[in-house]
């Protein structure tokens, strides 16, 4: 995926309403993973964040959720939703066998987006 496509994906996610972004992540990854990505203990919060009139996630949490949405979109563009979900929860050799979920939770957005980009391109290096 070229740099222009990454910028386009970033722009689309940035323009997406935050409640809609969380709703989509809840639908695709499930609220338990969304809570883990956001680094919150309350697994009910993702449902509250998804509500049109619901509260907003903290800035740090939302930044991780935006990155998760970008990574999810990159994987889905190359494969399907099932593969994307498995990619998030599986050990990843590009992340020293950590899972993308845990790396995003820790705030390592750059490495996760690079791993998602490489996966979506089918890169082996």
CB 111 within 8 A of CB 103: yes
- Average pLDDT score, the chain: 89
**Can you say how many angstroms the Cα of residue 5 is from the centroid of all Cα atoms in its chain?**
17
Residues 36-80: tens digit of each pLDDT = 999 999 999 999 999 999 999 999 999 999 999 999 999 998 899
Q: How sure is the predictor about 125, in pLDDT bands with cuts at 50, 70 and 90?
A: very low
Q: Which residue has the tokens 């990155």?
A: 67
Residues 1-13: tens digit of each pLDDT = 555 666 666 556 5
* 93: number of Cβ within 10 Å: 8
The dihedral formed by the CA atoms of 18, 34, 74 and 62, expressed in degrees to the nearest 10: 40
């Amino acid at each position: 995926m070229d740099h222009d496509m990454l910028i386009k994906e970033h722009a689309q996610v940035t323009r997406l309403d935050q409640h809609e972004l969380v709703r989509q992540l809840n639908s695709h990854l499930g609220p338990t993973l969304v809570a883990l990505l956001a680094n919150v203990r309350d697994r009910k919060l993702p449902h509250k964040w998804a509500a049109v009139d619901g509260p907003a996630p903290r800035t740090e949490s939302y930044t991780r959720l935006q990155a998760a949405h970008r990574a999810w979109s990159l994987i889905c563009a190359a494969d399907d939703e099932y593969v994307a979900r498995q990619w998030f929860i599986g050990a990843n050799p590009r992340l020293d066998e950590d899972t993308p979920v845990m790396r995003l939770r820790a705030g390592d957005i750059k490495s996760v987006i690079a791993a998602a980009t490489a996966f979506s391109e089918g890169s082996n290096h």
